[in-house]
Amino acid sequence: MAQDPGQPIRPLGLTSAQFVEAARARGGSAFAARDEYKALFRDGVVPASWMTIANEADATSDARTSTNCEFTDYPVTATLVEGETSKFVLRLVDPGWNGLETESVLIPMPRASGTTTTLCVSSQIGCSMGCRFCETAQMGLLKNLRADQIVHQWWAGTHRVQRASGNAIKNIVFMGMGEPTDNIDEVIQAIRVLVDHDGAMVPASNISVSTVGNPDGIEKIGQLVRETGFHRLNLALSLNAPNDEIRSAIMPVNKAWPMARLKDALLAFPRFSKAAFCVEYVLIPGVNDADEHCDEVCAFLREIRCSLNVIPYNPRRNSPWPAPEESDVDRFVARAVTNGQFTKRRGTKGRNVMAACGQLGNEHIRNRRLMNEDGTSEPVKPGFVKLGLGNSGLGNSGLPVDPNANRNQA
């Protein structure tokens, strides 16, 4: 959402028009502001006068400039690489954020025309949805990210992490930590910023928002999609189960928003292009992977124009379930195809660096509390487990799929 006039201007949280307006309201020149905005987004250039000090202790109001523009160059505290997939961590040194960290993943997508890169961003630190299979859910929700902190993941990915590789970020998926519909206003503002023609210029058709299936959130995204320039924004739904009984057992949110409501929300969603919805299905052995489950899912999806994305489960810490066997994933996918459902499977990327779907959220983050199975929590001991290294052989990635590829395999 647009920033409050009393607040410092955070350029990464504003569209170019909002930024120019804010600068003008503070007596700045519109031309200079537009140039600065372009240089920031396109070239990664930060005017020296905007910089706050990238150290929490020093990030006082004195560090802000007379125009009250604030840019904190969040330190990239870790980059973990597995093959060509990398996870990077930004430390939010803003006052009051206590050094909490975002996690984002860069995934290369081989295409006929060359490799493109997809960025998976976090919309929250932690998550409150409680999905039983997800690592992030284990820590509960710590904080909603502001729009500028979401966009900062693209900015740092582009100008700090990825630049040297020469592969620009092409697609952005909201599939990192958090539930986008639980922080929907900031997520929508971040999308407005990311598509801005004077700035990041990411086409809406290259952005996907993935949700546990909050019908109100889906409706809000639908309202954005109705606006010119956003018609081709993609929606992805994490279905993960064939019926309400199984879904409620693994996704507590299903008790509030059962599958029939989800279907209604999807059927009411505006469709401006032929693009199909992406319906994600994390395949968990013994839970939702039987042939009958597959038939039930396909029957549920029959009226919805969608692509079913089968994601092999990546075991979280203390997981009660193993990763599925390859042969079971293949069997499930083949059966869905035979049922007439357009289906793809996701490949394996980033498992060893905890960069795969459902694996984000590192327990060394300051003040983080880990949730126990019984819902109690305990403080994390600093250095208890090093980022991503405490887990080994952790399943497969559910990371985003190149819509043009039949099968993505790391």
The catalytic residue positions are: 357
Nearer to ligand SAH, 71 or 313 (CB): 313
Please, where are the H alpha helices in 65-195?
147-156, 184-194
Tell whether residue 401 is a contact of ligand SAH (CB under 6 A). no
Task: List 115's β-bridge partners, or say none.
Answer: 110
Tell whether residue 391 is a contact of ligand SAH (CB under 6 A). no
Only segment of 96-104, 311-319, 375-383, 402-410 that touches ligand SAH (CB under 6 A): 311-319
DSSP state of 352: G
Least Cβ distance, residue 166 to ligand SAH (angstroms): 28
Least Cβ distance, residue 280 to ligand SAH (angstroms): 4
Least Cβ distance, residue 269 to ligand SAH (angstroms): 15
Nearer to ligand SAH, 357 or 387 (CB): 357
Least Cβ distance, residue 314 to ligand SAH (angstroms): 4
What is the separation of C-alpha 256 from the centre of its chain, rounded to a whole number of angstroms? 23
Tell whether residue 210 is a contact of ligand SAH (CB under 6 A). yes
Task: Kindly write down the DSSP assignment for every residue of 224-284, as one continuous string.
Answer: HHHSTT-TT-EEEEE---SSHHHHHHH-GGGGTS-HHHHHHHHHHS---SSPPEEEEEEE-
Question: x-or-dash pattern for ligand SAH, window 280-299, by CB under 6 A?
Answer: x-x-----------------
Least Cβ distance, residue 23 to ligand SAH (angstroms): 34
Pairing of strands 124-126, 141-144: antiparallel
Nearer to ligand SAH, 202 or 357 (CB): 357
For residue 351, count other CB atoms closer than 10 A to its CB.
26
Only segment of 145-153, 191-199, 309-317, 380-388 that touches ligand SAH (CB under 6 A): 309-317
* Crossing angle of the two packed helices 215-226 and 184-194, in degrees rounded to 10: 30
Tell whether residue 311 is a contact of ligand SAH (CB under 6 A). yes
Q: With CB under 6 A as the rule, give the number of residues binding ligand SAH.
A: 18
Nearest residue relative to ligand SAH (C-beta)? 358
d(CA 222, CA 266): 9
Tell whether residue 394 is a contact of ligand SAH (CB under 6 A). no
Torsion of CA 166, 170, 175, 180, to 10 degrees: 120
Q: Please name the residue that has the structure tokens 């980033």.
A: 350
Q: Is 109 helix (H, G, I), strand (E, B) or coil?
A: strand
Angstrom distances, CA of residue 173 to CA of 45, 191, 209, 225, 399: 25, 11, 6, 16, 9
Tell whether residue 358 is a contact of ligand SAH (CB under 6 A). yes
d(CA 277, CA 375): 34
Nearer to ligand SAH, 160 or 349 (CB): 349
Least Cβ distance, residue 55 to ligand SAH (angstroms): 31
Question: Would you tell me which residues interact with ligand SAH (CB under 6 A)?
Answer: 133-134, 175, 179, 210-212, 238, 240, 280, 282, 311, 313-314, 316, 357-358, 398
